Amino acid sequence: MQNTLDMSEEAEFDEEEEPSFSDTEDFVDDIEDDELLADVLREKPLEADGIDSVVVVDNVPQVGPERLEKLKNVIHKIFSKFGKITNEFYPEGEGGSTKGYIFLEYSSPNHAMEAVKNADGYKLDKQHTFRVNLFTDFDKYMNISDEWETPEKQPFKDFGNMRHWIEDQDCRDQYSVIFESGERTAIFANDAKEPIVVEERARWTETYVRWSPKGTYLATFHQRGIALWGGEKFKQIQRFSHQGVSLIDFSPCERYVVTFSPLMDTKEDPQAIIIWDILTGQKKRGFHCESSAHWPIFKWSQDGKFFARMTQDTLSIYETPSMGLLDKKSLKISGIKDFSWSPGDNIIAFWVPEDKDIPARVTLMQLPSRQEIRVRNLFNVVDCKLHWQRNGDYLCVKVDRTPKGTQGVVTNFEIFRMREKQVPVDVVEMKESIIAFAWEPNGSKFAVLHGESPRINASFYHVKNNGKIELIKMFDKQQANSIFWSPQGQFLVLAGLRSMNGALAFVDTSDCTMMNIAEHYMASDVEWDPTGRHIVTSVSWWSHKVDNAYWLWTFQGRLLQKNNKDRFCQLLWRPRPPTLLSADEIKLIKKDLKKYSKIFEQKDRLSQSKASKELVDKRRLMMEEYRSYREQAAQAYTEQRELRLQLRGGVDTDELDSNVEDWEEETIEFFINEEIIPLGDLE
């Protein structure tokens, strides 16, 4: 029975009319394929697909069939450095000889760009220098119109005065503060009484912030990249898309920024390190990164014209703005361990350890000529550290040695006098372990912490013009593990951070006097302001979970402020650009400083009485507001007099109230309560 019903139902369905999908005769198809099949057409291959990965190499040697295989091996070895080569074509002329140009196809357009940047101008031999171009460039330049077309005018983006904070009449420096475990970031203007809020935002950055070297930009970190802020209201100036960025570095000229992300690198497309142009926001070049343990990977010359990178047995020096290798080749330096740029000149210092019978050596190299201006041989070397004085006047090479016949380590400070002919070298020897070393920024002194806890000594040396290095003072039994010089020199702070509970010693090195001894318990960081007038000590939530705060001190060690911030993380002073004054003008100002001292003292007195002045101004403003309100009320009272008379039947009660003589004084007494106390209770 069930089968019969099913068959009848199928017959009914078969008898129903099938739907018709045919168009009517008057139908007009006005929908284009681009709208219906946009996703399919997007993947449609084009004739030009792949040619952007092809390069044309000219000035290749013309060889016969018998030498062709050798030529291919040489070409492949040179050009495979820039990426994977998927196809090679060597056009042949009559007799089977090559025509002097070849075509190479890479797996990625980025590899083709790298080949053009680095191999163009490569000198194969005396007769053959390669000229390398993208294949697409031929079509681009062939199709250039002969008629001049006026380029479109690009809109100008006005970001305001990018250095407005320097124009502050009271010369207040700014600093950034991250607190609430990174949830809030604020910019403050420094003031002796209390910091003045310039800008404060929630979740402005996801990790930390960085100021550019001249203080023009504030960099904030985000999962998708870096943002730069500046101007009076800290508007967004530029964005750089680099997924998972964790580290950045600026060029000294503020023209370029380097970003690092461990998430983006691939073998075909180098994306771990990217150099960006700050003004245009364009990516200049990408690099692979084997390890970011020693950041920054690239170190910049003082003028931003060159940057260098060290790999195994190689020092690669690049030039801007091309971002290509200087002279198209790297320096082969067997065993190179470390290098550093001079802060005052385009000079690189690097050191190489001992190798069998060859001594260790420190080399000073002038760029871009690559001329070695000084080489210093060293023996029995365990390790070296390079320390430049901020102006580049001196280089100190800290050399740890193990002299023959001894088991201990002796430290030598090799002092290179960079401004003198043939760069003479002086030596200071210490047999104690070295804890810290630091040059005076604008002078010829240096400080050393040496010894073992609890007997740590602080020694101060002066590099004299007569070729001698003089020990000018030594403080014994110091509780310190760090040295912080004032940016202007002369003054410094010996600090015992973290494990030494924040002990602080403020020293004037002009006569080596201890100005003050203080303590900021568990202090983790010390930051001088750019002028050297103030110094901040802080306990960061990132290193210690309680007592998070930053304290403001004078350079003499007088405590001015204690600023407690919930889960305070980081404080960074905003750098100042170099002064526009010449050295002679600065000397003249220092000479005539007593002229201006009265003006400064007057401003100091005004700042000390700032609180009372603000209170007087506040009371004066309140009195003016009261008088203004009283006049408005009196005017309204006068205007409403006729209305009051009408409401009160023509009786002016205000005049009756004002006639005091008609008043009668009446005293009214009324009973409140009565309390009875027995006499017995009074005894």
Compute the radius of gyration of the chain from its Cα atoms.
Answer: 39
pLDDT band at residue 117 using 50, 70 and 90 as cut-offs: confident
Specify the pLDDT at position 2: 42
Q: Which residue has the tokens 């073992």?
A: 452
What burial class does residue 455 get, using C-beta atoms within 10 Å of its C-beta: 0-12 exposed, 13-18 middle, 19+ buried?
Answer: exposed
What's the one-letter identity of residue 528?
Answer: W
Q: Please give the average per-residue pLDDT across 419-440, as a whole number.
A: 93
Digit-coded pLDDT (tens) for 318-345: 999 989 899 888 899 999 999 999 999 9
Token pair in block for residue 66? 């018998």
**Alpha-carbon span 344 to 152, nearest angstrom:** 42
Beta strands in 26-79 (DSSP E): 54-58
Return the axis-axis angle of helices 583-591 and 593-608, rounded to nearest 10°.
70
Digit-coded pLDDT (tens) for 7-41: 444 444 444 455 555 666 666 666 666 665 666 66
Digit-coded pLDDT (tens) for 439-448: 999 889 999 9
Helix (H, G, I), strand (E, B) or coil at 70: helix
Digit-coded pLDDT (tens) for 282-304: 999 999 887 777 889 999 999 99
Instruction: Report the DSSP beta bridge partners of residue 87.
Output: 105
**Alpha-carbon span 247 to 221, nearest angstrom:** 9
Task: Answer whether residue 644 shows pLDDT above 50.
Answer: yes
pLDDT band at residue 615 using 50, 70 and 90 as cut-offs: confident
Nearest of 408, 310, 393 to residue 352 by alpha carbon: 310
In contact, 276 and 257? CB cutoff 8 Å = yes
Specify the pLDDT at position 44: 61
Percent of the chain with pLDDT over 90: 56
Nearest of 187, 248, 181, 246 to residue 238 by alpha carbon: 248
Average pLDDT, the chain: 86
pLDDT band at residue 600 using 50, 70 and 90 as cut-offs: confident
Specify the pLDDT at position 5: 40
pLDDT band at residue 263 using 50, 70 and 90 as cut-offs: confident
Q: Please give the average per-residue pLDDT across 457-481, as a whole number.
A: 92
pTM of the complete model beyond 0.75 = no
